Amino acid sequence: MKNIKILSLLFVCLSIFLSACGGDDTPVPVTVKTVLMYLVGDNDISNDIYNNIASVERGLSEVTSPGTFVIYWDGGSRKGEFPVPTLFKYEVDGKGSVSKREVIKTYSSQNSVSNEVIINVLKDVEAYCPAEKYSLILGSHATGWLPVDHSKSRSFGDDRGAKIHIPDLSVALKQSGIHFDYILFDACLMSQVEVAYELRNAADYLILSPAEVMSAGFPYFKITKYLLSADNSEQNAINVAKDFIDYYKNEYSYSWGTIAVIKTNEISALANITCSIMKRYQDNLVKFDNRKIDYFQAHYGYGRSSLDHSAYDFRAFMRELTDNNIPSDFEEQLERVVIYKNYVDDYKLVNIDSDIYSGIGCYIPDTRYSKWNTYFRTLQWYSAAGWDETGW
């Protein structure tokens, strides 16, 4: 019995010693909020994406709640500073104190828009920076719901030509095991019903643009205090969107920007209402011939150039489909989904109709785009919204 007691005492002392030395099993303190900014910059806008890091650093001193801001950087133009993909962090105490940049982990050269890499990085963030709440910022090229097409579209991301389909991104986020209070897309054309429906279970809110985002991206020096706040996620998401518009309206050299905040737990109800309308007005789909769709592209289209005909204002489509008689239940549910929307278009990239702008786009199948149509049929929105019963 005496020997057992001695062995037990030795075991306890050894455990304390290993813990004090920072062994692998040392618990990592859990913070209130961890934000991951996932930057895929190994492409032609690498310098623009990189500038967001300095913008975040500028904004961290204004954060009023403690938390951790983590950045994953994979970019081709900064090989001297970041020769390989790097995960680093900043700690803030909410009182103006910001830690120096601390490298958490470096990775060998990898495809940062592959499912495996996204999952591994998210798991590393969860292991090294555990928190009560997580948020995600995704920054790179993007083309919304579209399929990965090396000649035209990127879907999301561009890592030396590699991209990821939105359904695959959704799977990666799910397999990471993390649910986010918001996902912010610092990328073009992401506010589409097809994208929002695929990602409805990944986050409570989505902050995204239905049209192109200028290369300067989001004004992180203004919005970081909202991004790291753990209280009132909905209002913080709206504040981010408001400051985005304010920046492009009053500070940026080109006054252009479109933005929306989407509440994901409301989008299934919107799909159900859309499905009932599609069934009721199915015969009206014949109106959307090439001539009508070209008109829509000119007046309500969000894509440009090679992305013409890929996305149109969702409310404009429903108005045309219902003979200018949008059902009130659709209007009410759309407001529950898109809880904030705005735009500034003094510098016009596409036409925005102030009377119809909904902040969210949709695809209208087009006989001239067979590849897009084939891929569209694989998306969850296709059947949820009733397109599968229309003959498309």
- β-pairing, 131-139 vs 180-186, is parallel
Predicted pLDDT at 23: 40
Structure confidence at residue 16 as a pLDDT band (50, 70, 90): very low
Q: Give me 60's structure tokens.
A: 């961290």
Model confidence pLDDT, tens digit, residues 59-73: 999 999 999 999 999
| Strand partners for 91 | 68
CA distance 369 to 392: 12
192 vs 280: CA distance, rounded Å: 23
- Asked if 76 and 43 touch (Cβ cutoff 8 Å), the reply is yes
pTM comes to: 0.92
Task: Give me the pLDDT at residue 89, please.
Answer: 98
Q: Is the pLDDT of residue 45 over 50?
A: yes
Instruction: Name the residue with higher pLDDT: 90 or 153.
Output: 90
Give the angle subtended at the CA of 46 by the CAs of 41 and 52, to the nearest 5°.
85
**pLDDT class of 101 with cuts at 50, 70, 90:** very high
Q: Residue 7 — pLDDT band, cuts 50, 70, 90? A: very low
Mean pLDDT of 135-160: 84
SS3 217: coil
Burial (CB < 10 A; 0-12, 13-18, 19+), residue 371, is exposed
Q: What is the pLDDT of residue 162?
A: 87
CA distances from 371 to 143, 196, 231, 367, 382 (A): 15, 21, 44, 10, 15
- How many CA atoms lie less than 13 Å away from 325 in the CB half-sphere? 6
Fold assignment, 31-267 = Rossmann fold (3.40.50)
Please report, for the chain, the start and end positions of each structural domain, with discontinuous segments joined by +. 31-267, 268-327+352-389
